[in-house]
Structure 1
Amino acid sequence: MSAAHSTPNTKAVIIVTAADLAPQAVELLQDYELVYAGKTPQVPDLIALARRHDPVAYIVRYSSITAELMDASPSLKVISKHGSGTDTIDKPAAAARGIEVTAAVGANAAAVAEQALALLLACAKAVVQLNARMHAGHWDKATHKSLELGGRTVGLIGLGAIGQRFSKMCDAIGMRVIGFDPFAKNLPSYIQSVDLATLWRESDAISLHCPLTADNRQMLNAATLAQCKQGVMVVNTARGGLIDEPALLAAVQSGQVSMAGLDSFAVEPMAAPHIFHHQPGFILSPHIGGVTSDAYVNMGVTSARNTLAVLQKTRSAVPA
């Protein structure tokens, strides 16, 4: 594709850090040239594209957005996350350069909340293990007992759009819902706000729904897991960095954690081999909680609109 500055009439470039974008989002961005970085772009790939195209925006699905990449993009005005988590974007570097960072908050809330519920149910009902046993010709009715979630306590860390949607589902199946989120306001009556010490102590299941920050990295670790009930279940559809992975493995192996249902990992794509591979007590999915047909469109359209809002604002701010 031609460079953004090759002729006076060339459209400004938006780089999408993926191989595709929802058609509805592409239509919204028709006044710009979209350059796709491929399925698994790395920062050096993006720097090469930036030097060739001098983008005004990034729509971020995969890869990190670093200060070096920003410096390779002198016309950059906005970094728009195709999703809600912005931990892969160097936000202080963006702020120092006057580049806005936006997120498609809530666009995938339903999808991720449903994935969290699926993982919770799979942990409680041994869905994966029983399926494997059945396919191997076994009939475990006389020996298997599942866990009933009704009447038990689920503790949520993070009560934003996803956490509140998941809370509603848990309340609907008769669970007591407690949650920790110092920023949440006007919570529905079925969520009891508690401090972290109470959440560790009282939860039968813990589900993570918060962004990853410097302050909460590896918040689920040997010390906090030791404060939990024996046999607690852990679900993570947020960010893998929230969990100390070797500590979680040890807790599952000891029985302190009965089951862990994980959709995100400290390093993604997950390295192979990984300490969780072939370990009983782990149900794993490849960070696809927000990847549904509906969420793909919602996130694409929201990230496109966020991009356009910043570009239109910066354009109108330039003197004629």
Structure 2
Amino acid sequence: MSERKPVVLVTAADLAPEALALLGGYEIVYAGKTPSDDDIVSLCGQHDPAAIIVRYGKVGAAAMAAAPSLRVISKHGSGTDTIDKTAAAARGIAVRAAAGANAAAVAEHALALMLACAKSVPLLDARMRAGHWDKAVHKSLELHGRTVGLVGLGAIGLRFARMADAMGMNVLGFDPYAKELPSFVQRADLDTLWKQADVISLHCPLTEENRNLLDAKTLARCKRGVIVVNTARGGLIDEAALLEAVRGGQVRAAGLDSFAVEPMLAGHPFQKESGFILSPHIGGVTSDAYVNMGLAAARNVRGVIEAR
């Protein structure tokens, strides 16, 4: 009788074929398109996975307790805030991220949101479709020569910085963990960044220390008419404070790909405000990133389970 293959639970309905090829010696179990926390716990109890590849949903202490064979939780992406790392550490379960696998995709999306905010792309498109020709009355914002402030200088933040520099923008960056920085990034503390940046773009992980980093106090310290871009985590922003700042003109526009509650619920106030450009947390969702993140997540699974 053949020995049972180790189980890898994927908290989604699919995984890139290239990643599956790397996991040929494992049994793959899918949790479905939108698994709830309870679904994940139940599947852990049924299949006792050796590894979990996290795409959607959260993996908490209850899921880990239901899977005594669990050795690694591998994120299909760079952010691990959906994994209870304290519970994992207590059980000796490794937590790995696909660092940098979606950096190009997310940085490009942040750039797209910044440009859309500065150039009023969705508003002008809607006005054109309604029969208006606003050439005589509309003025967009030129970004050349203006300053972008980046919070987080990992793979995504530095890639975005390089694109902003190529556009002729001045780049300020805050990241207490970044060591050597390229010449086109000027290191700055947060107070300097808030005061000098014409655009603020967030590229850092969410922690309890930086939750609501952008709140009423910090937004008030920013330049009037600042653009805010967030392709990181929704919890970095106090959404009520940002709403008031947009309505009052302190923030010219906000381009957001991440939100405090996801999926965004119908009737969210951002949906009715023209000063917001919204996308459903798809900055890292491209065909290339899908493969790259799947491969990195699969390699991280094998790296832990097959370590000698």
Determine helix, strand or coil for the equivalent of 1:148.
coil
State the shift of 1:272 in Å.
Answer: 1.5
Residues 194-213 of structure 1 correspond to what in structure 2 (within 5 A)? Answer: 194-213=188-207
Query: Counterpart in 1 of 2:18?
Result: 24
> AA paired with 1:136?
A
Cα deviation 1:210-264 (Å, max 9, x = unaligned): 0000100000000000000001000000000000000000000000001000000
User: Could you give the per-residue CA deviations for residues 173-223 of structure 1, whole angstroms, max 9, x where no partner exists?
Assistant: 000000100000110000000000000000000000000001000000000
Alignment of 1:163-202 (within 5 A): 163-202=157-196
SS in 2 for 1:70: helix
Q: Is contact 1:91–1:101 with CA below 8 Å preserved after alignment? A: yes
State the 1:304 CA deviation: 0.2
- Cα distance, 1:280 vs. partner? 1.5
1:96 pairs with 2:97: no
Partner of 1:62: 56
Give the SS at the match of 2:82.
Answer: coil
The aligned counterpart of 1:129 is 123
Asked whether the 8 Å contact 1:153–1:203 carries over to 2, the reply is yes
Q: Does residue 1:295 correspond to 2:264, yes or no? A: no
Does 2:66 match 1:75? no
- Do the aligned partners of 1:246 and 1:275 also contact (CA within 8 Å) in 2? no
Instruction: Establish whether residue 47 from structure 1 lines up as the match of residue 41 from structure 2.
Output: yes
What displacement does 1:8 show? 5.4
TM-score, normalised to structure 2, is 0.99
How far the C-alpha of 1:273 sits from its partner, in A, is 1.6
- Cα distance per residue 1:280-313 (max 9 Å; x no partner): 2000000000000000000000000011000011
- Secondary structure of 2:162's aligned partner: helix
Q: Following the alignment from structure 1 to structure 2, what is the Cα–Cα distance between the partners of residues 93 and 142?
A: 59
1:15 to partner: Cα distance: 0.3
**Letter in structure 1 aligned against 2:26:** Y
Task: Give the AA of the match of 1:59.
Answer: I
Task: Say which SS state the counterpart of residue 44 (structure 2) adopts.
Answer: helix
Structure 1 equivalent of residue 106 of structure 2:
112
For 1:247 and 1:57, the matched residues in 2 are separated by: 40
Q: CA deviation at 1:10?
A: 2.2
Q: For residue 277 of structure 1, give the secondary structure of its aligned residue in structure 2.
A: helix
Shift of 1:48: 1.2
Structure 1 residue 22: deviation in Å? 0.3
Moved more, 274-283 or 195-204: 274-283
Q: Which runs of 4+ in 1 moved over 2 A?
A: 7-10
SS in 1 for 2:253: strand
Q: Distance in 1 between matches of 2:187 and 2:162?
A: 14
Q: Equivalent residues in 2 for 1:126-165 (5 A)?
A: 126-165=120-159
* Cross-structure match for 1:10: 4
**Long gaps (5+) in structure 1:** 1-6
**Structure 2 residue aligned with 1:235, among 229, 233, 243?**
229
**Whole-Å separation in 2 of the counterparts to 1:46 and 1:145:** 50
Contact 1:112–1:289 (8 Å) recurs in 2: yes
* Deviation for aligned residue 1:9: 2.4
Q: Which residue identity is paired with 2:31? A: A
Q: Which residue in the other structure is 1:85 paired with?
A: 79
Give % identity: 69
Aligned partner of 1:3 in structure 2 is none
The one of 235, 239, 245 aligned to 1:245? 239
Task: Note the aligned Cα RMSD (angstroms).
Answer: 0.7
Q: Which amino acid aligns with 2:80?
A: T
Q: Residue type of the partner of 2:86?
A: P
Q: Can you give the 5+ residue segments of structure 2 that lack an aligned partner in the other structure?
A: none
Residues paired across the two proteins, number: 308
